[in-house]
A and B are shown apart, each in its own frame.
Chain A
Amino acid sequence: MMARVSLILLLLALVSALATVSSNHRARNLFTELEREQTRMRGLEVEWGQLQLEQSTWAGHARVEKIARDKLKMKSPAAGQIVSIEAGK
């Protein structure tokens, strides 16, 4: 009887030890993955900053005005050409 209990306990200990090893391994794998994703996140943040800069450059007021005036032949309306409407009327 005693021997059987011991055998079960031994088996349990063995299983638990193997589980520890495997979960440790899994934890490390997951951590590496997290690390990789964080690097990617930082990379994307950098790219976002660069895209913002690019957007600000393309949408710069000077560039927009130049294209509007020279290429699209637009001009600002005289005050008399503006009709002002009020909300709710």
Chain B
Amino acid sequence: MKFANSPLLSQRLPAWRARLLLLGLLSGFAALAGWALYLQGFNSGFLQEKGASRYSRVIELSATRGRILDRHGDAQAVSTPVKSIWAIPEDAKLQPAQARALAGLLEMDVRELNRKLSGERDFVFVKRQISPDVADKVAALNLPGIHEQREYRRYYPSAEVTAHVLGFTGAEDVGQEGVELAFESTLAGKPGSRRVIKDRRGQVVEDVESIRAPQEGKDVLLALDSKIQYLAYTHLRQVIAEYKAKAGSMVVLDAKSGEVLALVNLPTYNPNNRVKLAGAQLRNRVLTDTFEPGSTMKPFTIGLALDKGKFRFDTLIQTAPGRLTIGSATIHDAHMSGMLTVAQVIQKSSNIGAAKIALTFQPEQMWSMFDSLGFGSALKLGFPGEVNGRLRPFKNWHPIEQATMAYGHGISVTLMQLAHAYLVFARDGDLVPLSLTKLDSLPPSGKPVFSEQTAHEVRAMLEMVVQPGGTAPKARIDGYRVAGKTGTSHKLEFGAYVNKYVASFVGFAPASDPRLLIAVMVDEPSVGSYYGGDVAAPLFAKVMAASLRALGVPFDAPLNGLQVANQDAPVIREGI
């Protein structure tokens, strides 16, 4: 029978069967379409992530901490990468020969190594901060359970000489002291990351996107002059050894710009090796320790007197009989001088002269002069532990306090504040802010404190101090005119004066056009003299002479001038 004649063909199928089949197929397609839509549209994120995790990797990009440079661009602090070797003790089952090889490379005792690896902990540092070369050799040993990680270590080539200026960084390369802390936000780099495609062998084959660009830490260009810093350090160390002093500090400022060229404190420490660190070594005394400045304050009192027009440089003041009673207290001069001019009050450092002048002021006048010079408020250089010093509100000053403040007692300052305030005499009576970083251009004139004429007159008086007949002939420098003021003061311990002294000297040179300003403080000189004119003034002269020479500052005085001067002039002691 032919197929065409099959009776089956003539049989009509019920229509619902075809429809059912169609419906089934359609719904199958719909399900597929829906699934595709779900995968493509709604669940795509998850799937793409899964896919990406097979080939795409996020890698961290480390950023180096910026360098600290001195004003000539010499590196003073540099971070270099080092490696730390760590281990998972459970995995680190070393053969004795392997352990010996590892210990040999790390320069450590095999027993110590084994002790570290047999500990209970999951993670131990075997040795931190080793040089990358050694780490590569360790990696070449291919030991199980021994891993390495990259870290940074900061090196300070000038070591203890610059310790207090630069400070140091902690374990994570974050600033903890000094400039490292003050300029943390500039120095610190921000690590970045980027997404890449890696091939089967782990090699990067394609850069997909930068998630966060790494920001390298920026370099800090300090105002510091490493040569002057070194000169200050070595000379201060000699003087401290010579007078067996407890401590000492020195600041060198650029008199024109207010830049800090050197800052030294002794005792000091080596920032590259901080194993044995005591608080005394760490103290940045220039900024954190206050002292009663003593006679170094007198020029400010005189400046105010000249500025208010009540006195001229040649106004006579009676200082006989060498003591002055105010209320229940009596103040003394070291020796009786009789009638003195205002200029001689500075030259001979007469307490009575300064006190008598001060008592003609309103307390508020004197307070606002001190305040505008920056006494009583921190300099805000960003160093940790900077203190304000003590300047009591003028409302409750007694006359005796006003009198003693005129010669630097009853007021306490840091050496940096004192040096800063002296800038008004080295400049034309205006005060510019201090700068730790190198300035591109000279600052415009600062905040006026005294008139230009007053500043010049006080400067001339300060030049008399170092002449024979003044308190500091030892501060003279051959070839340069020097202006400065000595200070010697009793130390305060538990609110009472004790027989311990602080010898200080603040001065600048060349007086005809001041370039450098140096403030020195020697704490508790215990052998020989303790007067500022004997201890601090020669130190000032040595550092100033060497620094001016290093800077090539032209002479402004005849050479061999020191021999001509009368060496037999009586030694003038200042009142303490």
**A interface list, Cβ under 8 A from B:** 27-28, 31-32, 35, 45-46, 49-50, 52-53, 55-57, 59-62, 65, 76, 78-80, 82, 84, 86
Contacts and interface: CB of A to CB of B under 8 A. Distances in A.
25 contacts: A31-B205, A31-B206, A32-B204, A32-B205, A35-B204, A49-B78, A49-B80, A52-B67, A52-B75, A52-B78, A53-B75, A53-B157, A56-B157, A56-B158, A59-B74, A60-B158, A61-B158, A61-B161, A61-B226, A61-B227, A61-B230, A62-B234, A76-B546, A76-B549, A84-B554
Contacts of B230: 61-62, 65
B559 A56 contact: no
A79 B560 contact: yes
Contacts of B545: 79
Contacts of B203: 32
Contacts of A32: 203-205
A55 B158 CA distance: 11
B76 interface: yes
Interface string B476-515: 0111000000000000000000000000000000000000
A81 to B, nearest CB: 9
B79 interface: yes
Contacts of B394: none
B399 interface: no
B209 interface: no
Which of A32, A45, A46, A49 has its CB near the most chain B CB atoms (within 10 A)?
A: A49
A62 B78 contact: no
Interface in B541-576: 545-546, 549, 554-555, 559-560
Interface of B: 64, 67, 74-76, 78-81, 155, 157-158, 161, 203-207, 226-227, 230, 234, 477-479, 545-546, 549, 554-555, 559-560
Given A50-B78, A61-B230, A79-B559, 7 more contacts: A31-B207, A32-B204, A53-B80, A55-B75, A61-B227, A76-B546, A86-B554
Contacts of B158: 56, 60-61
A27 B78 CA distance: 37
A53 B554 contact: no
A17 to B, nearest CB: 19
A30 B340 CA distance: 86
Contacts of B157: 53, 56-57, 60
Interface SS of chain A: helix, strand, loop or mixed? helix
A50 B153 CA distance: 11
Contacts of A52: 67, 75, 78
A56 B76 contact: yes
B67 A49 contact: yes
A50 B79 CA distance: 9
B510 to A, nearest CB: 12
B204 A46 contact: no
A56 B67 CA distance: 13
B559 A80 contact: yes
A72 to B, nearest CB: 18
Contacts of A84: 554-555
B200 to A, nearest CB: 13
